[in-house]
Amino acid sequence: MEFFAKNLKYLREQLGKNQPDVASDLGHPSRSRIANYETGASKPGFEDLVKLAKYYNISLDDLLHKDISDPNFTTVNEAQTAYEKKDLNMSYLLLENETLHKRVTTLESLNKILSTDNADLTTSNNNLLTMLKSLSSKENKEKKM
C-alpha cells in the first residue's frame, strides 16, 4: 500500500472532484474518511478498497502498489485495451490477406479466360450472336401479333 494515499489524491484531482464529492459518491457521511485515506492517517477495509477501485476504474493492484502519477504508468485496463487493439489489427490483416487472395484467384481466372484460343472465343461469340438474333426475332414476331 505504499502508493495508496498518493494515488487516491491523484485520481480524485484528475476527476476534478473534492473530498466531499467522493465521500458522497461512495456513500460516506463525511469527507473525513477520504481525507484520512489520502493522508495515510487510516487505511480502508477491503470493502472500501473495492469501492474505491471501482469508483476510479482502476485495479486494486494498480491502486495499492503502483505510482499512477508516473507519466510512464500504464493501467491494467490500458494494457488490456492495447492487447485487444493488437488482436483486432491482426484480425484485420488476416481478413485483408483473405480478400487479396480472393482477388488474385479472380484475376487468375480472368487471365485463363483471356488467354484461351481465339478460335474458342470466336465460336463463343458466334453462339452468343445466334442466341441474340433468335431472341430478337421472337420479340419482333410477338410485337407483330
Mind giving me the DSSP string for 79-101?
HHHHHHHHHHHHHHHHHHHHHHH
Domain boundary among 47, 73, 99: 73
Are 90 and 53 found together in one domain?
Answer: no
Are 53 and 113 found together in one domain?
Answer: no
User: Comparing C-alpha atoms, which of 78, 28, 35, 88 is closest to residue 57?
Assistant: 78
- Count: domains in the chain: 2
- Cα distance between residue 11 and residue 3, in whole Å: 12
pLDDT in tens, 82-111: 566 666 666 666 667 677 667 767 766 666
DSSP 19-30: HHHHHHHTT-SS
- Domain of residue 39, residue span: 4-73
Are 8 and 64 found together in one domain?
Answer: yes
74 pLDDT above the threshold of 80: no
- Cα distance between residue 69 and residue 10, in whole Å: 7
Global pTM exceeds 0.75:
no
- Whose cell is 474518511? That residue is 33
Given a contact cutoff of 8 angstroms between Cβ atoms, the answer to whether 52 and 26 are in contact is yes
Given a contact cutoff of 8 angstroms between Cβ atoms, the answer to whether 19 and 9 are in contact is no
Express as a percent the part of the chain with pLDDT over 90.
34
Domain boundary among 53, 73, 93: 73
Are 135 and 97 found together in one domain?
Answer: yes
Question: Looking at residue 42, what is its pLDDT?
Answer: 93
Are 16 and 68 found together in one domain?
Answer: yes
Select the more confidently predicted residue: 145 or 130. 130
CATH code: domain of residue 12:
1.10.260.40
Are 67 and 104 found together in one domain?
Answer: no
- Cα distance between residue 25 and residue 53, in whole Å: 13
User: Comparing C-alpha atoms, which of 44, 74, 70 is closest to residue 58?
Assistant: 74
Question: Looking at residue 8, what is its pLDDT?
Answer: 94
Select the more confidently predicted residue: 125 or 46. 46
142 pLDDT above the threshold of 60: no
Question: Looking at residue 81, what is its pLDDT?
Answer: 60
Are 84 and 69 found together in one domain?
Answer: no
Are 104 and 47 found together in one domain?
Answer: no
pLDDT in tens, 51-71: 999 999 888 888 998 898 888
Question: Looking at residue 59, what is its pLDDT?
Answer: 86
Average of per-residue pLDDT values in the chain: 78
